[in-house]
Amino acid sequence: MTVRMGASGLPILAADDPKKPYGDVAYADPGYQEDGVSRYPIDTEEHCRAAWSYINQEDNAARYTPDQLAKIKATIRAALKKYGVEIAEDSIDPKTLRMSRPVAQLKQGRTDWYRISNKTGLAPEVYIYDEIGYWGVTASDFGRDLQALDADALTIHINSPGGEVYDGLAIYQSIRSHRASVTVIVDGLAASAASFIAMAADKLVMAPKSSMMIHDGFTMAVGNAADLRKTAELLDKASQNIASIYADRSGLPTEFWRERMLEETWYSAQEAVDAGLADEVEGQAKSIDNSFDLSVFAHAGRDRAPAPVIKAAPVKAKEEPVIVPAVESKVEPEFTWDFAAFKSSLKEGLTHG
């Protein structure tokens, strides 16, 4: 998840020309593949970084001839250089790419990162199936569409590598404030900002083979020492706030979750339940597209990450009734004068005397 410092700089996608899904901008691939579609827009720094990450994936590179691939990479590197970013010809170093926010796969023709199914007679279903905020649709759009759903129950499906942290927090709040009973199902991946969005659920279900990842926020900043200190303080506050969301759901301390975030922790479906982040694992595995580029993270998926630290949620001890021991009364009995007995004793004494 990243903290956006100002405008995102991402254009709203234009669909006027199907051969140019991002509109009339520069592309690293001007249409080399058979369909003639231009790919890998390089009109912004974020698009350039996404393009570089994506073209370095083996299956994507295999779609081009060596000459075409060399031209695409040279074009992306030249575009990045205009933004002051130098990348070696064959570099796919995750530390270099971590300067960028997490990138979703560049699906041509996509104009959104969520969709809502609201069919008559059925409970509404919301699908968050890409990088949050990446396609020019903001959290305010999502919140407005969500609040328009007049339903007592709704289901939110998540398969996302994360996105803008403040968009994520706004989405979390919009889900929490909806009057419906909300079930969140993690169909594939709930990483970064998508993981704390999932925490808004009244019931959180992990699909078999799904995973969840939590980590500290990261960003880019330019300025003097004072500017950078302010940015670091802002980042710490945002991450601490997110840690408190995990704490609220699990019952474990905020500090425990902040430590897990700093380590970048990945959870399998059952591990998420064991950690108190999810309620149950769903019975049936799902077949979904989960080809996200995870190279910006320290570990590219649960199978490449160390086992998480699982700490049992605190259980309140049963309060035993307090038994107050009886205290013997030390009050002397009230004295009663028995005149008849006194008179008799007196006579008996005189007789024996």
Task: Write the CA distances from 220 to 136, 140, 169, 231, 304, integer angstroms.
Answer: 20, 23, 19, 9, 26
Domain-located, residue 129:
yes
Domain-located, residue 128:
yes
Domain-located, residue 12:
no
Domain-located, residue 84:
no
Query: Which residue range(s) make up the domain with 220?
Result: 114-304
Domain-located, residue 51:
no
Direct distance between the N- and C-terminal alpha carbons of the chain, in angstroms, rounded to an integer? 111
Domain-located, residue 91:
no
Q: What is the pLDDT of residue 95?
A: 38
> What's the total number of domains in the chain?
1
Query: How high is the mean pLDDT in each 10-residue block of the chain (353 residues)?
Result: 36 54 86 90 83 79 92 92 75 41 41 65 83 64 85 92 85 92 94 94 95 88 84 90 95 95 94 95 63 60 75 59 54 57 59 53
What is the signed CA dihedral for 2, 194, 60, 108, rounded to 10 degrees?
Answer: -90
User: Phi then psi for 108, rounded to 5 degrees?
Assistant: -70, 140
Give dist(CA 315, CA 313) in Å, integer. 6
In the numeric block, the tokens 């404030």 are attached to 177
- List the alpha helices (DSSP H) in the chain: 45-55, 58-61, 66-82, 94-97, 139-147, 165-177, 193-198, 225-250, 254-262, 269-274, 339-352
Q: What is the pLDDT of residue 137?
A: 47
Query: Is the four-CA dihedral 25, 29, 33, 39 of positive or negative sign?
Result: negative
Contact indicator for 163, 195 with CB cutoff of 8 Å: no
In the numeric block, the tokens 């700089």 are attached to 9
Contact indicator for 154, 144 with CB cutoff of 8 Å: no
Give dist(CA 104, CA 161) in Å, integer. 7
71, burial (CB in 10 Å: exposed 0-12, middle 13-18, buried 19+): middle
Domain-located, residue 132:
yes
Give dist(CA 154, CA 145) in Å, integer. 13
Domain-located, residue 68:
no
What is the signed CA dihedral for 56, 58, 64, 67, rounded to 10 degrees?
Answer: 60
Give dist(CA 301, CA 299) in Å, integer. 6
Long-range contacts of 55-61 (CB under 8 A, 24+ apart): 55/28, 56/92, 56/295, 57/293
- CATH number, position 259: 3.90.226.10
Give dist(CA 141, CA 112) in Å, integer. 10
Among candidates 300, 277, 298, which has minimal Cα distance to 290?
Answer: 300
Among candidates 125, 216, 114, which has minimal Cα distance to 171?
Answer: 114
206, burial (CB in 10 Å: exposed 0-12, middle 13-18, buried 19+): buried
Active site residues: 192, 215
Beta bridge mates, 127: 115, 157
